[in-house]
Amino acid sequence: MSQQSSAVAVEEEPVRSGNVQQFLTFVLNDEVYGIGILQIREIIEYANLTEVPLMPDFISGVINLRGNVVPVVNLARRFEHEPNKIGKRTSIIIVDISGDDGESVEIGIVVDIVNEVIELAAAEIATPPSFGARIRAEFIEGMGKIDDRLMILLDVNHVLSIAELSAISGIGNDSTRRQSVMDNVTTGDLERG
């Protein structure tokens, strides 16, 4: 099954109007989170994941996205929470993460439900707390104020540490390992398909 057929492209148009930012909201373990829309490439259906041995437990595997090997992170496991079961609305959000060398790396993030794109003015974004959140403070870009609720706005460039990002980007940069992973992904797709 092709990943492309179920993809939803994210429009790449300016999203800042004055002091307004746009965020894609999603649900993970009954908690609502947001990611800045400028870092999102696309949203795809959860399917055809290939497990890669010797990866951290929060790396679910890799997908073949139009010929590119893209690592997929289970965000619940990354936050050291128990992930929900994969359901009909489980999706993979493809995001761009900036590497040490300034290059961008595509990474998929598994979420329970993708909600909507919202706009928040600068006054509606509070400084992240230094304690009391269910995830590490460096993962939080800010707290979005929506009516009388708060939503965690993630800093996806910090969700993965530098060492972890380097290990993951090595899949895409090491041609031998990339070809081996790609062969396994392609073979697995053909066997299922």
The pLDDT tens digits of the residues spanning 105-155 come to: 889 999 999 999 999 998 898 887 776 556 666 678 888 988 888 888 998
Mean pLDDT of 40-69: 90
d(CA 121, CA 77): 31
Quote the percentage of the chain above a pLDDT of 90.
Answer: 27
* pTM listed for this prediction: 0.72
User: Nearest CA to 143 among 164, 162, 126?
Assistant: 126
φ, ψ at 181 (rounded to 5°): -65, -45
CATH tag, 4-192: 2.40.50.180
**Residue 12: CB partners within 8 Å, gap ≥ 6?**
none
Residue with the bigger pLDDT between 58 and 23: it is 23
- The tokens describing 106, both together, are 């595509």
What ranges do the domains of the chain cover? 4-192
Q: Exposure pattern of 22-46 as b/e (b: 16+ CB <10 Å)?
A: bbbbbebeeebbbbbbebbbbbbbb
pLDDT of residue 123: 87
Q: For residue 193, is pLDDT > 50?
A: no
